[in-house]
Amino acid sequence: MKRRKIKKIVFVASEGGSEVGYVKMLNLFIKERRLDITIKPANLEGGGRAAMANEAIEKSDQDDQQVPKDRKIFIKAIFLDTDNACDKEISKITNQLKQHDFIVIWQRPNHEAFLWRHFNDKGRAPPDPGKIKEDFKRFWPDYKKNYPADDLKKKIDLPKIIEVAHSLKNEGDDGFLVLLEKTGLLESGRVKHNPVD
């Protein structure tokens, strides 16, 4: 009897249900491409950025202690909104999380602006983040928070996700690209694949 290959765990924390849906969508792409990884999402359910960073560190440590050695967390990442944070606060939180080996993906200013990039000009940032909800109605009339992963996957494909990651890197934020690279999605998104039946 052939032993099943043990999948590496990717711990991805985020502010709320909308991000969890996005992370679960990434996991669907991982499964579809038969990568030896599984994403474990952690919903931090909002709060201040510093408090969420501490909670993510604590949750990842707890999760790591509860699994056998061969199932330890391989990658840790977190999605956080910048909202109205100053550069000093963002830098402080980023440094704290990196000390605990987290990949940090900053959503400027929020998750809706991050999603907007997937539908517009080469993954670039929205010109007016204050009008994102109005823009969404044009190209995504049924959008609502906590959009299910299966439905997200019907709207967003992997090449567009990769395009957004490159755009963010060009703006000086490489966290999302690093996450895609470490999970194998960056490379698998460039080649044809045979979906799982």
Tell me 67's DSSP state.
S
Query: Is residue 1 one of the residues assigned to a domain?
Result: no
Contact (CB, 8 A) for 139 and 119: yes
CA-to-CA distance for 165 and 179, rounded, in angstroms? 9
Averaged pLDDT, 123-141: 78
- Name the residue with higher pLDDT: 102 or 190: 102
CA-to-CA distance for 160 and 169, rounded, in angstroms? 14
**Which tens digit of pLDDT belongs to each residue from 50-99?**
999 999 999 999 988 887 777 778 899 999 999 989 999 999 999 999 99
Tokens of 51: 């408090």
Domain interval for residue 161? 8-188
pLDDT band of 182, cuts 50, 70, 90: very high
Query: Is residue 3 one of the residues assigned to a domain?
Result: no
Query: Is residue 173 one of the residues assigned to a domain?
Result: yes
pLDDT > 70? residue 10: yes
Helix, strand, or coil (residue 82):
coil
Averaged pLDDT, 168-172: 93
Q: How many domains does the chain have?
A: 1
Helix, strand, or coil (residue 149):
helix
CA-to-CA distance for 114 and 106, rounded, in angstroms? 9
Query: Is residue 2 one of the residues assigned to a domain?
Result: no
Query: Is residue 193 one of the residues assigned to a domain?
Result: no
Tokens of 128: 């007016």
Q: At what angle do helices 175-183 and 158-170 cross, to 10 degrees?
A: 140
Query: Is residue 196 one of the residues assigned to a domain?
Result: no
pLDDT > 60? residue 101: yes
**pLDDT score, position 125:** 79
**pLDDT score, position 133:** 74
Averaged pLDDT, 9-15: 95
Largest CA distance in the chain: 57
Query: Is residue 195 one of the residues assigned to a domain?
Result: no
Contact (CB, 8 A) for 141 and 114: no
Query: Is residue 194 one of the residues assigned to a domain?
Result: no
Report the DSSP beta bridge partners of residue 76.
11, 102
**pLDDT score, position 192:** 45
